Amino acid sequence: MASSTKYIFITGGVTSSLGKGIIASSLGKLLQSRGFSVTIQKFDPYLNIDPGTLNPYEHGECYVTDDGAETDLDLGHYERFLNVPTSQSNNITTGRIYNNVITKERKGEFLGKTVQVIPHITDEIKSNFYKLGEEGKYDVVITEIGGCVGDIESLPFIEAVRQARLDLGPNNFLVIHLTLIPYLKAAKELKTKPTQHSVKQLLEAGIQPDILVCRTEHHLPLEVKKKLALFCNVQLNSVIEAMDADTIYDVPLLMKKEKLDERVLSKLKLSSKSNSELEEWKEFLGKLKNPTQETTIGLIGKYVSLPDSYKSIIESFTHAGASIECQVNLKLISSEEINHENYETKLRGLDGILVAPGFGERGFEGKIETVKYAREHGIPFFGICLGMQVAVIEYCRNVLQLEGANSTEMDPYTPNPVIALMEEQKNVDQMGGTMRLGSYACELKKSSKAFAAYGKTKINERHRHRYEFNNHYLEQIENAGMIATGKNPETGLVEIVEIKNHPWFVGVQFHPEYKSTVLSPQPLFVKFIQAAVANKK
Ligand code: GLN
């Protein structure tokens, strides 16, 4: 296979949650800064076709791409670091691989043959490894293999990585193994044995890692590095220390200091095309770490006990806050715990209130109480997806006095379905990948807060929903002071609502958080934080 694209595979050992996604993103950033075009893809070992059908408690947030793929939250990190959009091709699961192979089998593409893990599943995995590289747009494709080496589930992926080395040739192929060096307090010692074992497992599978990236809470003394190099069969200068960082955004600079990018370039026989010193990135970090103002914002949702469920929203606050040197103290509050008796004590002291996306009835009435409080007290309010729908329902119930106003998601028999199932959703009987997904256009009214944020009338944002603003009620709602300030130009679907007589009350049907990156903070988040700061004063 002749290819000018270089492939880097990142595997994980010892435990999960070591931050492969952040290491992949950081390496990608460093390679970008040296003039290479980079994309990162993730291969997940589970059997779901995609994470769209997973509860956020299982797997954190479901991240949505422009092309409407429901993907792993690590793709969010890839975009936030690299500032380049990802797509369906950037996230493949075992479920999708098997689905593709079985579909081919039924079509008779393997007619007469026994269909097996090797070569049929591994061939399918490899063709997906190479897909983005073959587009010709990227100098480097980084592939993160989900899970841990040694997991039964990830075996076919690991086997495919072994085979990929033969396809690609030594200078086009590199394996980085991310591992943990635990510190035993009682013995005051850093232990290398778990890493030795996980590398042995890789070797048994026929893969020699080229570089070890070692997560650690303490600096690795030279002796420890030497031991790792010797037992794991890697060069001493390829044992890279990855100390715990204050923020994930420090990691590119830490990896640069450890010369991870230099090692990678030399092993892939690449020389830098340019060398930017990550000036903008450093400027962002400077602002992030030296805020000149602060504000307290409440994030009200039902999955708050696992903050990963709101990963992109949380990171959007980091990007937007840093851009105006504002420290955002985010308080995650469970909407299930908010009711008509306690809402004031629960919400007091918040300078701004965000009602989060979500599905289903649990915690819904707490969200209604929250919106009412924000609306009546002039507290800056930002509603995202379900949060926007709640804002409409609250307005219809309490301002328009529309009895029992609701979404048909919560009450299919409501007398006033102000939020209702979209027409195109009515015949949908499959759950996965069938919502209104991905990027759609929205046209803004010039007099709106949204226009003040974006500075233009035509925007595109990503979506993930089945229900929509019911346009039968539009005139009534607008006459009462809640204005549809953003609409889809083709369908007229209401994308944004705002309340006229309120300092900052914006509900959006789309998910602005998916497009926020370090280098381009999302404008609505910036304006919302500014409004919260102003409210505090
Ligand atoms: N449950 C709502 C819908 O399907 C909102 C979805 C969301 O918040 N992502 O329309």
Task: Find the distance separating the first CA and the last CA of the chain, reported in whole Å.
Answer: 63
Average pLDDT of span 319-328 = 98
Instruction: Kindly indicate the confidence band of residue 431, based on its pLDDT and cuts at 50, 70 and 90.
Output: confident
Which atom of ligand 1 is nearest the CA belonging to 464? Answer: 9
Query: Which residues face 81 on adjacent strands?
Result: none
Best of 54, 311, 354, 385 to mutate for ligand 1, by most ligand atoms within 8 A of CB? 385
Q: In angstroms, rounded to a whole number, what is the distance separating the alpha carbons of residues 330 and 317?
A: 8
Quickly list DSSP for 472-530.
GGHHHHHHTTEEEEEE-TTT--EEEEEETTSSSEEEESS-GGGG--SSS--HHHHHHHH
pLDDT of residue 536: 82
Quickly list DSSP for 354-399.
EEPP--SSTTHHHHHHHHHHHHHTT--EEEETHHHHHHHHHHHHHT
Which atom of ligand 1 is nearest the CA belonging to 435? Answer: 4
Q: In angstroms, rounded to a whole number, what is the distance separating the alpha carbons of residues 89 and 143?
A: 11
Spell out which residues line ligand 1, taking CB within 6 angstroms: 357-359, 385-386, 409, 464-467
Nearest CA to ligand 1 atom 6: 465
Taking CA atoms, 103 is separated from 96, 129, 494, in Å, by: 10, 19, 38
Let me know: does 481 contact 501? Beta carbons within 8 Å: yes
Average pLDDT of span 421-426 = 89
pLDDT of residue 3: 62
Whether the predicted pLDDT of 2 surpasses 50: no
Whether the predicted pLDDT of 1 surpasses 70: no
Q: 510 C-alpha to center of ligand 1: Å?
A: 9
Tell me which residues are annotated as active site: 385, 511, 513
Q: In angstroms, rounded to a whole number, what is the distance separating the alpha carbons of residues 477 and 401?
A: 11
Average pLDDT of span 466-488 = 97
pLDDT of residue 271: 92
Alpha helix (H) ranges present in 68-191? 74-82, 94-107, 122-134, 155-168
Query: Tokens 């435990």 identify what position?
Result: 15
Best of 389, 407, 419, 510 to mutate for ligand 1, by most ligand atoms within 8 A of CB? 389
Question: Whole-number mean pLDDT of the chain?
Answer: 95
Query: Tokens 């307290």 identify what position?
Result: 296
Q: 420 C-alpha to center of ligand 1: Å?
A: 11
Q: In angstroms, rounded to a whole number, what is the distance separating the alpha carbons of residues 123 and 164?
A: 10
145 residue type, one letter: I
| pLDDT tens-digit map of 30-63 | 999 999 999 999 999 999 999 998 888 888 999 9
- Percent of the chain residues topping a pLDDT of 90: 92
| pLDDT tens-digit map of 164-205 | 999 999 899 999 999 999 999 999 999 999 999 999 999 999
> Which H helix or E strand runs over 20?
helix 20-33
234 residue type, one letter: V
